[in-house]
Amino acid sequence: MKMHDGLSDRVRERLRGIGALSEAERESAAEEKQLNELLRRFYANDIQGDAVLEALKTYERDKAWELLRMARDKLRQSFKWEELRLEFTEREDGSMTVEKGEPQETTAVPTAEGAVLELTDASFDAAVSEHALLVVDCWAVWCGPCRMVAPVIEELAKDYAGRATFGKLDVDKNPATARRFQIQSIPTILIFKNGRLVNQKLGALPRAMLEPAIAKHVEAKEPMPPAGD
């Protein structure tokens, strides 16, 4: 276990440069570590969104604006952001407020061209059947390499709109599908063509390495079945 797990890059740099933290920096590091633990528990579904909002409202009452900004930025990096429906307001004087937003009515999984779909155990098979070419990014909130490949998936989704569909599967929230496809490391990219798994890529691949595996299925024509079938 690393001595300074949970500390920000700024604090780590301070440790490397000077070798010791001031009292204020130690307090800041402790607060950040506490925030990270709160978010970890939320990501693991140990606590619900109301508990997160209550903690954030405490930051607001204590005028802990830096912690509130940090929490906002961390939450915006995951699909949990949509689930929380939080509204942060930052004023000109640097103060902030956070409130629960109004729920948005949804009747189906979004299918807008260029959108990256959020897939679940319940919706996975339907998505595979519905989309002729489906590329699935298997990821988790805590996975650093997953955050590296996320913008690649988003770019490809926009550039291949109308020709391929892209989705993301949180393996922590959807363990049944992860077990079914034997996902043992993440990120893992699954490529389905006409309902069949045709390729699987491991690791945070750059676009130059991932795109050819997708493009060949966009361009290739399906072979004609043998006569008599």
Is the dihedral angle over the CA atoms 215, 216, 220, 223 positive or is it negative?
negative
Tell me whether the omega of the peptide bond preceding residue 187 falls within 30 degrees of 0, making it cis: yes
* Burial class (CB within 10 angstroms; exposed 0-12, middle 13-18, buried 19+) of 57: middle
Residue type, 143: C
> How, if at all, do strands 116-119 and 96-100 pair?
unpaired
The catalytic residue among 7, 75, 138, 143 is 143
**Is 143 a residue of the active site?**
yes
Residue of 11, 2, 9, 71 lying closest to 36 (CA atoms) = 71
CA distance 47 to 57: 16
Residues whose CB falls within 8 Å of the CB of residue 44, separated by 6 or more in sequence, listed in order: 172
Residue of 200, 129, 140, 203 lying closest to 165 (CA atoms) = 129
Q: Are 49 and 84 in contact (CB under 8 A)?
A: yes
The catalytic residue among 68, 146, 152, 153 is 146
Q: What's the residue count for the chain?
A: 229
**Is 138 a residue of the active site?**
no
Look up residue 214 and give its two tokens: 């997708």
Q: Are 145 and 187 in contact (CB under 8 A)?
A: yes
Residues serving a catalytic function are 143, 146
